[in-house]
Amino acid sequence: MLISAAVCPHPPLLVPEVASGAAAELDGLRTACGEAVRRLGDTDLLVVVGSGPRTHDFGAEAAGTLRPYGVDLTIGPGEPVLPLSLTIGRWLIGDRAAAYRSVAFRSVAFWSVAEDASTAECLRLGAELADLAGTVALLVMGDGSACRTQAAPGYFDARAAGFDAAVATALAGADRTALTGLDAGLAAELRAAGRAPWQVLAGAAGDTPFDAELLADEAPYGVGYLVASWVRRVP
């Protein structure tokens, strides 16, 4: 049963060692991510979900590396096989992010979901993950559109701001229906890496009511970065 979720972006610059002299530019985003993770609370299982080339369970010991981003830093005890999304997720809950370790979990799993997974596949995976333990928390890693400005990785697309605004509204209201309705084709055109993980969250949430809060909505480099917290509503 899903009891909580944190939604965070996964730019490598979130890690201060990668950002170096520009680290302060994302201080607010780091703080928001830390708060979202803190609100996950005590749970039997924490599942970190992020986009990748394929849908795959990496297990609890898999590591990620930031070498492709100029820093010889491996995060996790195992082989560095995690995609970027899960690498940053591992950093958020790992020893190098000690300030974020107020969340307590008895076991952890790292699941990638294929970037081109259909909505139905994402919803099904979410429902399966929510049933893995008595209480489950999700750390959902996903960026918004990468087309907010001309300097953005995907250049400028006039549809990007509206897409990100719709996602922000859905996350702020724990709106499973709105997340389910995200257009996979449009998300791909806008290079929104969070579409599939957000729909996994929708599948895990089911019809359960959640109290939600949007903690950050930024686009400092022309990429939409959204941070949100969902906590299961107590009857």
Answer for the pair 87, 54: CB distance below 8 angstroms, yes or no.
Answer: no
Tokens of 178: 């709105």
- What's the CA gap between 183 and 190, in Å, rounded? 11
Radius of gyration of the chain (CA): 16
Question: Which amino acid is residue 167, in one-letter code?
Answer: V
> Of 122, 41, 51, which Cα lies nearest the Cα of 89?
51
Number of domains in the chain: 1
- pLDDT tens for the chain, 235 residues: list them: 999 999 999 999 999 999 887 768 899 999 999 999 999 998 999 999 999 999 999 999 999 999 999 999 999 988 899 999 999 999 999 744 333 444 567 889 999 999 999 999 999 999 999 999 999 999 999 999 999 999 999 999 999 999 999 999 999 999 999 999 999 999 999 999 999 999 999 999 999 999 999 999 999 999 999 999 999 998 7
Answer for the pair 228, 213: CB distance below 8 angstroms, yes or no.
Answer: yes
CATH number of the domain at 195, please.
Answer: 3.40.830.10
- Give the predicted TM-score (pTM) of the model: 0.94
Answer for the pair 140, 5: CB distance below 8 angstroms, yes or no.
Answer: yes
Q: Residue 235: which residues within 8 A CB-CB, separation 6 or more? A: none
Q: Tokens 């089911």 identify what position?
A: 206
Domain that holds residue 184: 2-232
What is the distance between the terminal CA atoms of the chain, rounded to a whole angstrom? 15
Tokens of 91: 């950093």
Q: How far is CA 120 from the centre of its chain?
A: 19
